[in-house]
Amino acid sequence: MAKVPVFKAVNVTKTYQLGDIEVKALQNVNLEIYSGEFVCFFGQSGCGKSTLLSLIAGLQKPSSGEIFVRGEKLSELDNTGLAKYRRSKIGIVFQSFNLIPSMNIIENIALPLTFARIGKKQRLERAKSLLETVGLTKYLDHTSSQLSGGQQQRVAIARSLVTAPWILLADEPTGNLDTKSANEVMRLLISLNRKSKRTVILITHNPEYLDYADRVFFMQDGKIIKTQVNSKVKEVEEVSKIEHVSDELKEAAKEVGAVGQDEASADIQALPEEPAESLSEEKTEEKKK
């Protein structure tokens, strides 16, 4: 029996209008992601991976093409439907954590449940159990500003999981973190995928993390230029027709113009993954062309 992909993009194109210039952030993207997969989108700033994430998250709509989530068209949802989709079907982890500073940690985690009209007692219980999962129980009544970056990101992961979503979207989750915190966060994401079989979509430009992924989509100039399955991790039957060449992952990374790990870190420092900036980069790239 053919499995229905949890996420499927068909000929997805996204163009932005920046003044007179039309920027193609995504061009004819076709892909399928299956339940329980750990998928990486890898590419440089401005390659369109953040745009793709925002489309997956239902934060914007594609200019053309169709996105299916468990077989349902995302384009058929209205604003309220999209809000519900973001609340219950996906959990998003941002590079900049995006916790609400006026709320304490537990309220932040419980916020999606608040939107879902879950009672206070029930949602706080759920939030507490997730806080335990990310190992921050004792910080429950702290505000986000009282926590370190790594701790904040773990809270954000707890928040993204609070509604038990189908897909966990992580957009450069370690981009603002030191190596130690970054490793903690990555270990957390991996264990969520391995232990609870949660579908994880990781967007990164750090080739270090590609080893953890079941599959990697390499992106450049708004296109998926290469898809590789990491045979080291596990086999994914649905995509078995794609070449299994895990050792080639890093080579592939070099091919698409990614830099080495140290340089990548420097890159992170210099260029926080700011979608607005990615846009302006795309713009300049367009101009060069």
Partner 1 sequence: MKPIDILRLSFGNLRRNMLRTVLTISGVVVGISTIVFLVSLGFGLQNLAVSKVANLDALTLLTVNASQKEGIALNQEAVDKFKNITGVIAVSPLISFPAQVSVPGASGDTVAYGINPDYFNLEDITADYGSKNFSGPDANEAIVSVGSLKAVNLTDPSTTLGKEVDFKIVKVAEGDKKVENIVKLKIVGITKDESTKYAYMPINIINKFDGKVFNSVKLKSKERDDMIEIRKTVESMGYPTTSVKDTVDQINQIFVVIQWVLGGFGMVALMVAAIGIFNTLTIALLERTHEIGIMKAIGGRNGDVAFVFTAEASMIGLFGGAIGLAAGYIMGFLINLLINFVATSVGGTANPLFFTPLWFASFVVIFAFTISTIAGIMPARRAAKLDPLEALRYE
* Residue numbers at the binding site for partner 1 (CB under 8 A): 54, 57, 59-60, 79-80, 83-84, 86-88, 91-92, 94, 98-100, 102-103, 111-112, 114-117, 119-120, 159-160, 163, 274-276
Instruction: Report in angstroms how near the CB of residue 154 gets to partner 1 at its nearest.
Output: 16
Instruction: Report in angstroms how near the CB of residue 131 gets to partner 1 at its nearest.
Output: 16
SS3 of residue 73 by DSSP: strand
The smaller minimum CB distance to partner 1, of residues 1 and 276, is found at 276
**Measured in Å, how far apart are the chain's first and last C-alpha atoms?**
46
The smaller minimum CB distance to partner 1, of residues 117 and 288, is found at 117
The smaller minimum CB distance to partner 1, of residues 122 and 137, is found at 122
Instruction: Report in angstroms how near the CB of residue 152 gets to partner 1 at its nearest.
Output: 13
The smaller minimum CB distance to partner 1, of residues 192 and 258, is found at 192
d(CA 201, CA 207): 15
Q: At a CB cut-off of 8 Å and minimum separation 6, what does 163 contact? A: 87, 88, 91, 112, 113, 116
* DSSP secondary structure of 180-235: HHHHHHHHHHHHHHHHH--EEEEEES-GGGGGG-SEEEEEETTEEEEEEE-TTT--
The arrangement of strands across the sheet holding 21-33 comes to 21-33, 7-18, 64-69, 72-73
Instruction: Report in angstroms how near the CB of residue 210 gets to partner 1 at its nearest.
Output: 26
Task: Supply 131's token pair.
Answer: 């806080």
- Number of neighbours of residue 263 by Cβ within 10 angstroms: 10
Helices (H) and strands (E) in the chain, counts: 9, 10
The smaller minimum CB distance to partner 1, of residues 208 and 273, is found at 273
Instruction: Report in angstroms how near the CB of residue 101 gets to partner 1 at its nearest.
Output: 8
The smaller minimum CB distance to partner 1, of residues 169 and 210, is found at 169
The smaller minimum CB distance to partner 1, of residues 118 and 259, is found at 118
Cβ atoms of 213 and 37 within 8 Å: the answer is no
CB contact burial 2-12 (16+ within 10 A = b; e otherwise): eeebbbbbbeb
Instruction: Report in angstroms how near the CB of residue 83 gets to partner 1 at its nearest.
Output: 4
Instruction: Report in angstroms how near the CB of residue 258 gets to partner 1 at its nearest.
Output: 25
